[in-house]
Chains A and B, each alone.
Chain A
Amino acid sequence: KNEVEQSPQNLTAQEGEFITINCSYSVGISALHWLQQHPGGGIVSLFMLSSGKKKHGRLIATINIQEKHSSLHITASHPRDSAVYICAQTGAGSYQLTFGKGTKLSVIP
């Protein structure tokens, strides 16, 4: 059974801090997704990774296929980054997204 584990579950940071959210998965993937969800809102796809590293603005996502691990980094965090960040993966040959339970991030001014 495929499982996706995220840590931490909750994270509070001061504005400007560097933030890391971790994601581990148990089976081989075709793609790993990092998603963002603001309270009561829809989901925004931040990154889709199958190897290496991607950067978009202050956000960086990395993945280590051998270790089955991915990280999402936020540099110079801002209160508007406060949201739930969700790691999700599609297994090789599968249509199904397996979601992590999410990391609730609060950035305090």
Chain B
Amino acid sequence: DTEVTQTPKHLVMGMTNKKSLKCEQHMGHRAMYWYKQKAKKPPELMFVYSYEKLSINESVPSRFSPECPNSSLLNLHLHALQPEDSALYLCASSPFLNTGELFFGEGSRLTVL
């Protein structure tokens, strides 16, 4: 299994809603990443987890809250988002931090009304 699975594929939420994005991989990778991608722009790194611990937070607003419950699962909890947070949210994993090939998910397309 060489897949990174993201759910949901599409999400529409209001600014007062609380929702979550989920990412799962079963490749035994110990590094997992959240990226945000706006239209026609390259992805921007948000968070990095290594061995289920948050290693990097790229100054992301607190309305985005990551969680890594186990080595296969990575969540991104969303609360009080703004319309400008509408984007494609991509999850990726690699065997270890800085090492090995990156595997990306298909992304979750988020629209904030």
Contact (Cβ within 8 A) B90 A95: no
B27-50 vs A, CB cutoff 8 Å, 1 = contact: the mask equals 000000000000000110100100
**Which of B42, B56, B90 neighbours the largest number of chain A CB atoms within 10 Å of its CB?**
B42
Task: Name the B residues within 8 Å of A35 (CB-CB).
Answer: 104
A30 to B96, CA, bound (A): 14
Tell yes or no: A96 within 8 A of B by CB.
Answer: yes
14 more contacts with CB within 8 A, not counting A45-B101, A95-B55, A99-B43, are: A30-B98, A40-B109, A42-B90, A42-B105, A42-B107, A43-B107, A45-B103, A45-B104, A48-B100, A48-B101, A86-B42, A95-B97, A96-B45, A101-B42
Q: Which residue of B lies closest to A104 (CB)?
A: B40
Task: Name the B residues within 8 Å of A93 (CB-CB).
Answer: 98
Task: Give the A-B pair count, Cβ closer than 8 A.
Answer: 47
Q: Which residue of A lies closest to B6 (CB)?
A: A42
User: Which of chain B's residues 51-94 have a Cβ closer than 8 Å to chain A?
Assistant: 55-56, 88, 90, 92
Contact (Cβ within 8 A) B101 A43: no
Give the shortest distance, in Å, between B55 (CB) and chain A (any CB): 7
Task: Name the A residues within 8 Å of B102 (CB-CB).
Answer: 33, 45, 48, 97
